[in-house]
Amino acid sequence: MIIVAIDPAVKTGWVVRTQNGEYLNGGTWMLRPSAGEGAGMITVRLRGYLHALLDAYRSSGEVIVAYEWMVGRHTSTAAAHLYGALSHAIMGLCEELNVAYLGVPVATVKRLATGRGNAKKTDMIAAAKVRWPEWRASGEDEVDARWIAEAAALTLIPAGSTTG
């Protein structure tokens, strides 16, 4: 099983994790529209990047997309609308491609990383440095995606399986 984990935002973090806990790839996608483009390009870009990523890994076996779910606090109404659009773009593409998907609650991800469901970004980054000291993330969004992958693995991989 391959877990593709997504931290949806204008700067989207993503990682690819195997069932045994190996990370194959990761990074960030900048989805912000360029000059002259409409706001809809954000979801168009996300779908394009995710589709390419799924195409690259679906031949390796079962792929499940895990994404940050139930973001309860946004800095603005526009941010809340953007999160809704991105999460629905992920779900819609997965439905079209017949790929399983799982929303992982934000508090679950934060609790796994730090022991607290309301941890700050700096706490998440510090916990990642302890858990994966040799890994260098492209930014806080990729860190969040890695923790999303870890939380999803706890839900998806049966107890007793090799989980790194």
Pairing relationship of beta strands 63-69 and 100-105 according to DSSP bridges: parallel
pLDDT recorded at residue 119? 92
Mean pLDDT by 10 residues, the chain (164 residues): 95 96 96 92 96 93 90 65 90 96 94 94 95 92 97 79 46
pLDDT recorded at residue 142? 97
pLDDT recorded at residue 164? 42
d(CA 46, CA 49): 5
pLDDT recorded at residue 158? 61
pLDDT recorded at residue 82? 84
Domains in the chain, CATH or no CATH each: 2-156 (3.30.420.10)
pLDDT recorded at residue 72? 58
pLDDT recorded at residue 67? 96
pLDDT recorded at residue 163? 41
For 85, counting Cβ atoms within 10 Å of its Cβ (0-12 exposed, 13-18 middle, 19+ buried), the class is: middle
